[in-house]
């Protein structure tokens, strides 16, 4: 008796060699991508890196100049946004100021011809999902920024999309509210089991929320993987610098620190400041250097140093550690296994 192979789930979103030009600018330059159903997927990169254009291509606000896009196996080139199994939450929320919260949320249902009673019930359910029960009759102007963000989320969820697209949705919120909304969004995504595709230029946001992160630079994906992998093993200099600002070492500098003779990355928090007379930990290289700058950042101090060989390094040390004053000579321990070689050269 043959065991039946489990059916292979279709990707929620698939890009095959997708290209999008704007004049001479290749905003998206041959992107291949596969996002799994139920995945919280972050597209991370600086302004102009192509991440937002990719989101707009999934939504249908842009069409590819070349390549192929599928959503759950369906080819979507040429399909208008309203015919796709996706919905978008924008950074500016785009709420209708003259409509009540309930009518804002139900708007997409009205457009789809769903009757009033069903519309109202579905809108109430969507508002309950985002913890805004009882707010149906208010106007957007009576809400805080965080509440408006939730209304925009409810309005996108009420039409039951298979893929929810989020374009820098927390960009307008203050830090404390952003952090609260990050954990709420993650919890909501888990509870609903929906595919979330999230665009951000904030690396801590991408790392804390996503199952996988794609790092974009100049229209291409330079690395994709789980947050820990992208952070701990950046593939290129760009990723090393953009995600968590690592020290980037040339091959000879990496070798001098006991690492491989290849371009490598070294995370600032891996470097330890040794107390005077303290032994060098096993498996670590000793670096003697002069402190050139100290920046206090709450729990840590970022300490810039220059070695006798002219190598500039940044270490992140506990703010309580003593001895890191500008001009001081310090002893640093660099674990050899913290020097991580990078595949890519860029």
Distance from C-alpha of 188 to C-alpha of 296, rounded to nearest angstrom: 35
Domain boundary among 186, 207, 240: 240
Pair 161, 293 in one domain: no
Please indicate, yes or no, whether residues 139 and 18 belong to a single structural domain of this protein. yes
Residue 346 lies in a domain: no
Do 333 and 272 form a contact (C-beta atoms < 8 A)? Answer: yes
DSSP for 9-38, written as a single string: PPPSEEEEEEEEEETTEEEEEEEEEEE-TT
Q: What is the CATH number of the domain that holds 289?
A: 2.40.50.140
Same domain for 279 and 224, yes or no, is no
The verdict on 167 and 294 lying in the same domain is no
Report pLDDT digits (tens) over 167-224.
Answer: 987 777 778 878 888 888 888 898 888 999 999 988 888 998 999 999 999 999 999 9
pLDDT digits 0-9 by tens, 69-126 = 999 999 999 899 888 999 888 877 778 889 999 999 998 888 888 888 999 999 999 9
Residues 25 and 159 reside in one and the same domain:
yes
Is residue 29 predicted with pLDDT exceeding 90?
Answer: yes
Tell me the three state secondary structure of residue 167: strand
Each residue's pLDDT tens digit, 35-62: 999 999 999 999 889 999 999 999 999 9
- Whether 9 shows a pLDDT value over 80: the answer reads no
- Per the domain annotation, does 232 fall within a domain? yes
Whether residues 102 and 198 share a domain: the answer is yes
The rounded mean pLDDT for the chain is: 89
Asked if the structure places residue 251 within a domain, the reply is: no
Residues 288, 161 share a domain: no
Same domain, 88 and 146: yes
Would 292 be classed as within a structural domain? yes
Same domain, 218 and 327: no
Domain-terminating residue out of 209, 240, 271? 240
Please give the Cα distance from 42 to 7 (Å, whole number): 26
Quote the number of domains for the chain: 2
**Average of per-residue pLDDT across 297-303:** 88
Tell whether 248 is covered by a domain.
no
Token digits of residue 112 = 């789809």
Q: Where are the beta strands (DSSP E) in the chain?
A: 13-22, 25-35, 40-44, 66-71, 74-75, 86-89, 163-167, 195-200, 212-217, 220-225, 247-249, 264-266, 272-274, 284-297, 300-307, 312-318, 329-335, 340-341
Does residue 197 sit in the same domain as residue 64?
yes
What is the domain range of residue 173? 13-240
pLDDT > 90 in the chain, percent? 56
CATH number of 224's domain? 3.40.50.300
Q: Rounded to an integer, what distance in angstroms lies between the CA atom of residue 346 and that of residue 342?
A: 10
Is residue 2 a part of any domain in this protein?
Answer: no
∠ at Cα 118 (113, 120), nearest 5°?
Answer: 105
Instruction: For CA atoms 234, 236, 170, 20, give the dihedral sign.
Output: negative
Q: For residue 4, is it within any domain?
A: no
User: Do 176 and 320 fall within a single domain?
Assistant: no
Distance CA 33, CA 337 (A): 31
| Domain shared by 97 and 144, yes or no | yes
The C-alpha atoms of residue 297 and residue 83 are separated, in whole angstroms, by: 48
Q: Is 137 within a domain?
A: yes
């Amino acid at each position: 008796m043959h065991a039946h192979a489990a059916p292979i789930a279709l990707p929620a979103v698939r890009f095959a060699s997708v290209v999008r030009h704007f004049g001479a600018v290749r905003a998206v330059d041959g992107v291949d991508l596969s996002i799994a159903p139920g995945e919280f997927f972050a597209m991370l990169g600086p302004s102009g890196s192509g991440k937002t254009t990719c989101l707009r291509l999934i939504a249908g606000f842009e069409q590819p100049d070349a390549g192929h896009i599928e959503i759950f196996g369906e080819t979507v080139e040429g399909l208008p946004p309203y015919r796709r199994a996706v919905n978008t939450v924008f950074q500016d929320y785009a709420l209708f100021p003259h409509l009540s919260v309930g009518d804002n949320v139900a708007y997409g249902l009205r457009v789809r011809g769903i009757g009033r009673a069903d519309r109202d019930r579905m809108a109430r359910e969507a508002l309950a999902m985002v913890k805004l029960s009882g707010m149906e009759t208010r106007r957007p102007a009576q809400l805080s920024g965080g509440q408006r963000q939730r209304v925009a989320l409810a309005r996108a969820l009420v039409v039951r999309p298979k893929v929810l697209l989020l374009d820098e949705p927390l960009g307008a919120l203050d830090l404390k509210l952003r952090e609260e909304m990050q954990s709420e969004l993650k919890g909501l995504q888990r509870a609903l089991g929906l595919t979330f595709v999230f665009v951000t230029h904030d690396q801590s946001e991408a790392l804390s929320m996503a199952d996988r992160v794609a790092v974009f630079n100049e229209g291409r994906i330079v690395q994709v993987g789980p947050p820990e992998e992208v952070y701990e093993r950046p593939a290129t200099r760009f990723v090393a610098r953009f995600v968590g600002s690592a020290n980037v070492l040339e091959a000879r500098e990496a070798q001098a620190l006991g690492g491989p003779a290849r371009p490598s990355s070294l995370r600032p928090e891996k470097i330890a400041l040794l107390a005077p007379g303290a032994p060098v930990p096993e498996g670590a290289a000793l670096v003697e250097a002069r402190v050139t700058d100290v920046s206090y950042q709450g729990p840590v101090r970022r300490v810039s140093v220059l070695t006798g060989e002219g190598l500039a390094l940044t270490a992140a040390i506990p703010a309580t550690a003593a001895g890191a004053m500008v001009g001081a000579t310090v002893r640093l321990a660099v674990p050899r296994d913290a020097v991580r070689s990078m595949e890519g050269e860029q």
